[in-house]
Structure 1
């Protein structure tokens, strides 16, 4: 978006220093002329105002029309509506996304005095029956979706494009079925898209004041860019791609300013650098932290998110089971042991591993050790889930506290043997060790060392803190149970279970990678506690405090961890290469009684047109570069500035929001493409302006001619196709119309598979 300018030297006989001010004025004047030329041709202001009003009204119509339909929970409203309810009840929850957009939804609920009693448990639950004020909550998304369209129009106007170019860019998003569907429901995407649009607009406005550095308006729009960036990253972490977009433009601008011919001293350049560092990185990060501060300040009560957090974190919550039920573990207590990731309990029974496994490997043919998960939470009633924690030395008295780093033995109460690991391959993981039970004299003497386990602290923190001895508490102390003899960590998993001989239980085995995060267990409870034991009496505990930064750092780690774990298959997941052509979509909602549905897909005509314009742009760049290599200069300076700077910025923004998804292993869906689609819409409007102009280099200096008729024909033709498709697919975008089988089949374009097609 910047134009370079060669600085002229002093005329012969003039003093270079004495004329530096006049020369700088000449440079600024020339730069102003080039930039004004690069921005295109402005039309009468009233035309922009009329077009802006018209496209805003259309955006409001497409977003608010039948917003009450369906009157049931749709798609991910089960998550984000629920989170708003938890905020209103101040109940702690865990989510993968930063809090800003969720706080915004909760704030809308608070304004309408919604109490958060409804928990959005299932898709299809009735809002009417449960008396949920869902329309105002959806209206929040609709307002943001509506405002996105005029912000796009104003961005194009700021960049100097014609009314037709501005209108076309805004219309692509206004009548895009995916944008409309996402802007009518209680979701985060409308906030994300609106924040992306605001960021591009603010930076475009900032670029118009480059000639007035450090002026009030310069600072205003630079700050506005930073605030908008913070809202993007505070809504979803994919907002980092918007940072990349602005970062590309800022680096390009700073590189130009660094040029000696620009006349800036190093201290002056440093001021430019520092201003951008503060406004675009430091200040947005502070705002980003602020939303987490609000998040923690509101969520003060124990809730469904407790189990994701450390015991230290849980003890800061009111009514926390951790504070109520956590007890010191003593030697010779009868305990249950629970795996943190799978919630399954360590178990054994009087059944042996088969002599040979299905793949022909030979086992020890000894007693099975497995993990069981009981959804009815009756694990504590089964004696086969009970273990006695026994000291490894006779010098340790019964009833002594157990500490991390202690070496212990586990006696299985149900069968009387001791837990053991040995160098035999486990049933499902040939590289892992088998866990089994040893009995009597054999366990006490011959295999004593094989029954020893060290209890390592398994929580987060520095290495120093992990090695610190601490009292082990039920539910509260994460542990890695390390086999002393072979140095493997006790581990289980639920992605594959044991066959019929193992009753479908989870395998327990020894993992050689002892530091893996899924090796963590907790001592869940103490069973059959003596009533006279002081620990059996509930003594209210004071709620603890934890610094904001410790809470934030722990939550950040968990959010990134669980984001990376979203790699399982999903029936509506799609790959990035399918997005630009809207080859498929996502089923949001089905009404079997009325045979109605909401299917999330883009405006295929609009999507394909964007791809065409992106391809044309690459062709133009290639043609320009090839001809210039042969000293054939076809394009004017104004045209090249617009092609490489203005359109180049928008093209880079599209690429920054699209190509990184190819590097991700997590689940991906069509809605991830919407920010890139918005940038491509801005780009398409700009390219229509470019190809509607006579951009040929003119040696006589005659002005470039803008062909309004050509522009009008292109925009009108493309717009008719986009609007037609929107209304043709409207029944499955709004879910308010029953279609016949033939009508459903007629809308199964490309790879789209709809319900009720038979």
Structure 2
């Protein structure tokens, strides 16, 4: 289903009939069609092409006006600007931070800040913080996505133009993006989606132009558009990982195209395997290898800029943190000796390992029986009940000996003089996990001794590596049962003082089992062991840093499962059932509510269903021996519109299997693809094609402008096809008029001004949108 089956050349010749072909195929009919297009281009006048160019200029100007109008309002932090504005500041300060998204989009913001001389002093801490008072060049920051969002409208138009559609079809598709409140709203703020959507649209456009060079393989233009397609794909996935969906779209078309190259029914037969291998290798390089190289490049830039310790340190391993200057871990890490008193902190939840004299209840709420042992919990504050003495396995009282990786140790709770223990008793909340408790010393040195042994397993540690405070991230493994000490944020009932449960996790691999030694309270501040010479910043190979960051990004991205008041489900998006509140100001009753143009979205969603119905009806008709469509129309419907449908489906349906938080803005790439379907169906329904030139049929085969031979018969439908432009323009006008009404009606919610009174707000609650100031 390559979009590019629409490669009927210039728009002035797009209704020249072609033979029925497979999706994304390269056939002899295609070759004849290309020759016909070239000949048409030579003999047709420039008027129609100028119409397209004039419409493109007008739509582009309107796109810039709609995106930049009032961009300085509001002059305070809005919604997720707290994140992406903050990241731009961290780049400019060279301070290491962590984010679940790749760096490309954030680097663009940092680049804009650098261009205007901003130093990154403001950290976008709270929604509503004033940009004016903090002297932030926020208009420059917002101008970057507004510029990219404006170009997205242009690229949408060019996709239709390059695909060979009529002018009304091009105007409808681009107009629905131009007049969409969601695209406008998302591209006027310091957010990543403008970069993502433009890169996705460019990947479609560049692949279409690449496919149109299929009869000139390995030529200069063929390589140019292949490389540009790969670059656009790289920018897409380098902005957000959902950019992978564009790879699926283009990859599917490429697979179909390559499969067709092996078809023995092709004119001239199938390609030789050696030639096929060249085609495969070229596409693999241009669409996989090269995008991956660019993807790595942005991470290299990311690491090169962020050289100072910052808020992202805790997400990385000690080895990684040692590559950052001013790192707290480098300054405060101390080698741990046996019989030191230490406090242990869970890396993920920041809770301290804690115990107190209270016991577990005899029975839990579900009726299970506990050991009634002393409670071991996770406590968020520093406290003397967090102090544990680390004791060697043989308890030889030999002082000054260093604890090392894989040593077996025991922990004595200092305040209650009991020993940490885990055993085969179910924990309070997890029947499959083991309870952690403490026992008196006489039991710990008696028959319970094996249950008090734990292995210190340093993450990525070497055999014999010294165990250090702060620097050594480790898992505490119960030796007999091989469970890892673990905690989670669900508080215990009142009998546990609402503190965190500590239990033994049978799954050792997860990073949520990692702990660190926060401090050694037994060492006074002036102890010689606390005196540290200045350490040199270490270096790690790029790929090792990249792999570590990738693991952390993927893991934390998958953890974004908590509920959010404005989260929504994929089934709600095509029908625009709810939006997202971005910003409010009570004094002026102004608000920014992220919402698409309902009329445009409902129309696009409806026509997606219509397209599926048309395909289904055509297949049933063919089964019954009824050929209702001519070859050219069917080819356009299946190949070009089918490609747009593929882009919509691959950017929409994967969200149904995601477990993370989802919001309306995740639908924007799919919505853009749906507008392409609308434009294509306007042409299909109203036959809005410019009339073909009456060409000598032999000239198609010979490629000559006026070769002798019989004329190809021109049907009455083709001869007067130009007349069908009138209903197409009427349909275009009706659609855009309705879209203009929806756009203008919801503009106060998109631009954030003017403020609305109660009645005005209530009139905009079309589907129960949770708007502010409705009473």
Give the TM-score of the pair, scaled to structure 1: 0.92
Residue-by-residue CA offset, 1:255-305 (whole Å, 9 max, x unaligned): 111212433222122211111111111111101100000000000000000
Give SS of 1:649's match. Answer: helix
Matched, 1:439 2:440: yes
Q: Which of 112, 115, 118 matches 1:108? A: 112
Residue in 1 that maps onto 2:362: 355
Give SS of 1:224's match. Answer: helix
Aligned-pair CA distance for 1:34: 7.9
Matched, 1:486 2:488: no
Residue in 2 that maps onto 1:314: 321
Query: 1-side partners of 2:483 and 2:27: how far apart?
Result: 74
Residue in 1 that maps onto 2:580: 586
Off by >6 Å, runs of 4+ in structure 1: 24-28, 34-43
Residue in 1 that maps onto 2:708: none
Residue-by-residue CA offset, 1:689-735 (whole Å, 9 max, x unaligned): 1111189xxx9652632511110111111111101111100001111
Judging changes above 3 Å, is the alpha-carbon distance between structure 1 residues 694 and 33 closer, same or farther for their aligned structure 2 residues? farther
Residue in 2 that maps onto 1:608: 602
Aligned-pair CA distance for 1:627: 1.4
Query: 2-side partners of 1:580 and 1:36: how far apart?
Result: 40
Query: 2-side partners of 1:480 and 1:207: how far apart?
Result: 53
Q: Which of 249, 267, 270 matches 2:274? A: 267
Residue in 2 that maps onto 1:210: 214
Q: Which of 68, 75, 78 matches 2:72? A: 68
Q: Which moved further from structure 2: 684-693 or 87-96?
A: 684-693
Aligned-pair CA distance for 1:427: 2.1
Q: Which moved further from structure 2: 218-227 or 513-522?
A: 513-522
Matched, 1:542 2:549: no
Query: 2-side partners of 1:397 and 1:191: how far apart?
Result: 62
Aligned-pair CA distance for 1:32: 2.3
Contact 2:170 2:679 in 1 (8 A): yes
Residue in 2 that maps onto 1:420: 421
Matched, 1:286 2:310: no
Residue-by-residue CA offset, 1:84-135 (whole Å, 9 max, x unaligned): 0000000000000000010000000000000100000000001011111100
Contact 2:79 2:583 in 1 (8 A): yes
Residue-by-residue CA offset, 1:344-398 (whole Å, 9 max, x unaligned): 0011112222233333333222321111013xxxx1xx22111100011144722
Q: CA RMSD in A?
A: 2.4
Aligned-pair CA distance for 1:36: 8.4
Residue in 1 that maps onto 2:332: 325
Contact 2:199 2:236 in 1 (8 A): yes
Matched, 1:651 2:645: yes
Give SS of 2:670's match. Answer: helix
Matched, 1:152 2:147: no
Query: 2-side partners of 1:304 and 1:29: how far apart?
Result: 59
Query: 1-side partners of 2:567 and 2:392: how far apart?
Result: 51
Residue in 2 that maps onto 1:474: 469
Contact 2:423 2:451 in 1 (8 A): yes
- Structure 2 unaligned spans of 5+: 8-25, 690-711
Query: 1-side partners of 2:168 and 2:28: how far apart?
Result: 34
Aligned-pair CA distance for 1:432: 2.1
Query: 2-side partners of 1:26 and 1:256: how far apart?
Result: 12
Give SS of 2:520's match. Answer: strand
Give SS of 1:527's match. Answer: coil
Q: Which moved further from structure 2: 171-180 or 566-575?
A: 566-575
Residue in 1 that maps onto 2:677: 683
Aligned-pair CA distance for 1:534: 3.2
Matched, 1:223 2:240: no
Residue-by-residue CA offset, 1:163-182 (whole Å, 9 max, x unaligned): 11111111101110000000
Matched, 1:32 2:34: yes
Residue in 1 that maps onto 2:60: 56
Contact 1:41 1:162 in 2 (8 A): no
Query: 2-side partners of 1:622 and 1:639: how far apart?
Result: 15
Q: Which of 689, 708, 711 matches 2:725? A: 708
Give SS of 1:745's match. Answer: helix
Query: 2-side partners of 1:45 and 1:173: how far apart?
Result: 22
Query: 1-side partners of 2:445 and 2:130: how far apart?
Result: 62
Residue in 2 that maps onto 1:595: 589
Matched, 1:389 2:390: yes
Residue in 1 that maps onto 2:306: 299
Query: 2-side partners of 1:26 and 1:751: how far apart?
Result: 55
Residue in 2 that maps onto 1:373: 380
Query: 2-side partners of 1:578 and 1:441: how far apart?
Result: 63
Judging changes above 3 Å, is the alpha-carbon distance between structure 1 residues 442 and 616 closer, same or farther for their aligned structure 2 residues? closer
Aligned-pair CA distance for 1:144: 0.5
Aligned-pair CA distance for 1:620: 1.4
Contact 2:618 2:628 in 1 (8 A): yes
Judging changes above 3 Å, is the alpha-carbon distance between structure 1 residues 731 and 3 closer, same or farther for their aligned structure 2 residues? closer
Aligned-pair CA distance for 1:446: 3.0
Q: Which of 170, 187, 200 matches 1:166? A: 170
Contact 1:369 1:507 in 2 (8 A): yes
Contact 2:96 2:312 in 1 (8 A): yes
Contact 1:435 1:508 in 2 (8 A): yes
Matched, 1:135 2:142: no
Q: What does 1:564-579 align with in structure 2 at a 5 Å threshold? A: 564-579=558-573
Give SS of 1:423's match. Answer: strand
Contact 2:376 2:501 in 1 (8 A): yes
Residue in 2 that maps onto 1:238: 242
Give SS of 2:651's match. Answer: helix
Contact 2:31 2:215 in 1 (8 A): no
Judging changes above 3 Å, is the alpha-carbon distance between structure 1 residues 684 and 36 closer, same or farther for their aligned structure 2 residues? farther
Contact 2:6 2:164 in 1 (8 A): no
Q: Which moved further from structure 2: 269-278 or 122-131?
A: 269-278
Judging changes above 3 Å, is the alpha-carbon distance between structure 1 residues 532 and 49 closer, same or farther for their aligned structure 2 residues? closer
Residue-by-residue CA offset, 1:181-211 (whole Å, 9 max, x unaligned): 0010000000111111111111111122212
Q: Which has the higher contact order (CA 8 A, sep 6+)?
A: 2
Query: 2-side partners of 1:101 and 1:92: how far apart?
Result: 16
Aligned-pair CA distance for 1:586: 0.5
Aligned residues: 725
Judging changes above 3 Å, is the alpha-carbon distance between structure 1 residues 41 and 621 closer, same or farther for their aligned structure 2 residues? farther
Judging changes above 3 Å, is the alpha-carbon distance between structure 1 residues 3 and 396 closer, same or farther for their aligned structure 2 residues? same
Query: 1-side partners of 2:391 and 2:156: how far apart?
Result: 69
Residue in 2 that maps onto 1:14: none
Residue-by-residue CA offset, 1:566-606 (whole Å, 9 max, x unaligned): 11111111111111111111011111121111000111100
Residue in 2 that maps onto 1:727: 744
Residue in 2 that maps onto 1:277: 284
Residue in 1 that maps onto 2:22: none
Judging changes above 3 Å, is the alpha-carbon distance between structure 1 residues 192 and 42 closer, same or farther for their aligned structure 2 residues? farther
Query: 2-side partners of 1:28 and 1:727: how far apart?
Result: 44
Q: What does 1:518-533 align with in structure 2 at a 5 Å threshold? A: 518-530=512-524, 533=527
Aligned-pair CA distance for 1:63: 0.4
Residue in 2 that maps onto 1:99: 103
Residue-by-residue CA offset, 1:521-556 (whole Å, 9 max, x unaligned): 111111131567532112111111100000000000
Query: 1-side partners of 2:666 and 2:115: how far apart?
Result: 30
Query: 2-side partners of 1:446 and 1:628: how far apart?
Result: 81
Residue-by-residue CA offset, 1:607-636 (whole Å, 9 max, x unaligned): 011112112211211121111112221211
